[in-house]
Structure 1
């Protein structure tokens, strides 16, 4: 499905604030990067990603190592998940655009921030989600679709933490499949 070129995006820019410490150990807002999160267009411009934060394994907060790790990913887009790490990202979905079915080897928390979204599972089951609804995504094959009233855009916040692969009762181990979702890599 081609991206909806004629539908204006009616969502405000996302701001993200990262805390750090001053030389006296007091909490402050890092000014290393602007507060407005950069937006990357993916899937031929149909969907827009804003990478909010990333960290390797146990976060290394001393000397702002985690902020440097995240800054690198702004220019070198990570996969949907980071091995043994955490990703926080915001995704803006255009009206009625069916995101590809995909599975990640991770525990994900998805929160509807704006609009309404339909969660589609590979079983055929769907769930209509409203602003503030949370999905705990546990390594299942799924897709998202904006179903905002009046054909508007929808926005979700995702926090993804790498997990062990799901092993079914049959002994089969489920593997990740990004379903053709691109990462919005820098050109």
Structure 2
């Protein structure tokens, strides 16, 4: 997730891939539309929302890292269809037990050799910004293993556009292409974009409890 901050702390840990001059930054891509259904006073199904995603979070410390916060629930949904939009209250990193968070994340292209972060950015300041904008997110990341993080969730992930590398303990890796899916069972991991173009992934996180 924090690919650029991994490069800051890891020095030459990322091999160089030239960045294409026509590679698009996430900010150049149109935000996704979000459709939310519900019920009206007569109990008929209706569209409650059909608009551009309102919660778009850009991380200045890692240009191109963008969160599209779509929806979240807590506990067992009542399914009345009359619930207010939960995103009006803001967002958070991960749900509590039984809750869900639905988001898209656009990851920046793999950085070219010699790339430097914005002036004044450190691992600590980057994680602080992440937690400020997506409350609590930065707290899940390890300082001595850049990019590695763990959450008490099962995460269903889909590569919507581009390609992504998922890394687990002991350097185990799998390469994911567009359309590939992953079930992340609360394990320690990190994401790295191997290409000189953005990668867009969709995630549904379901809160669990470690036993």
Q: Please give the range of the TM-score, normalised by the shorter of the 2 chains.
A: 0.7 to 0.9
Unaligned runs of 5+ in 1: 168-187
Give yes or no for the alignment of 1:48 onto 2:66. Answer: yes
- Alignment partner of 1:164 is 2:181: no
CA distance, structure 1, for counterparts of residue 163 and residue 44 of structure 2: 39
The answer on 1:124 being equivalent to 2:171 is yes
Say whether the 8 Å CA contact 1:18–1:30 is kept in structure 2: yes
Which secondary structure does the structure 1 equivalent of 2:154 belong to? strand
Q: CA deviation at 1:83?
A: 4.2
Relative to structure 1, the CA distance from residue 35 to residue 20 in structure 2 (aligned partners, 3 Å threshold; closer, same or farther) is farther
1:34–1:87 CA distance, 2 compared to 1 (3 A) = same
Supply the distance in 1 between the matched residues of 2:86 and 2:53 (Cα, whole angstroms).
18
Alpha carbons 1:15, 1:37 under 8 Å: kept: no
Partner residue of 1:92 out of 106, 110, 129: 106
User: What count of residue pairs does the alignment treat as equivalent?
Assistant: 157
1:68 equivalent in structure 2 = 85
Do the aligned residues in 1 keep the contact of 2:76 with 2:99 (CA within 8 Å)? Answer: yes
CA distance in 2, matches of 1:55, 1:36: 17
Secondary structure of the 2:147 match is coil
For 2:30 and 2:162, how far apart are their aligned partners in 1? 12
User: Which residues of structure 2 form unaligned runs of 5+?
Assistant: 8-18, 112-145
**CA distance in 2 between partners of 1:119 and 1:35 (Å):** 29
Deviations 1:57-86 (A, max 9, x none): 011332633x3333212xxx3123334310
The alignment's TM-score, normalised by the length of structure 2, stands at 0.66
Q: 2-side partners of 1:81 and 1:102: how far apart?
A: 15
CA shift in 2, pair 1:44/1:60, >3 Å: farther
CA contact (8 A) 2:94 2:153 kept: no
Distance in 2 between residues matched to 1:11 and 1:147, nearest whole Å: 19
1:118-159 CA distance string (max 9 Å, x none): 1111221111101111100001101111223xx110000000
Deviation at residue 37 of structure 1 after TM alignment: 4.1
Question: How far apart, CA to CA, are the structure 2 residues paired with 1:45 and 1:37?
Answer: 21
Query: What are the equivalent positions in structure 2 for 1:131-170 lying under 5 Å apart?
Result: 131-148=178-195, 151-165=196-210
Q: What does 1:1-16 correspond to in 2, within 5 Å?
A: 1=4, 8-9=24-25, 11-16=29-34
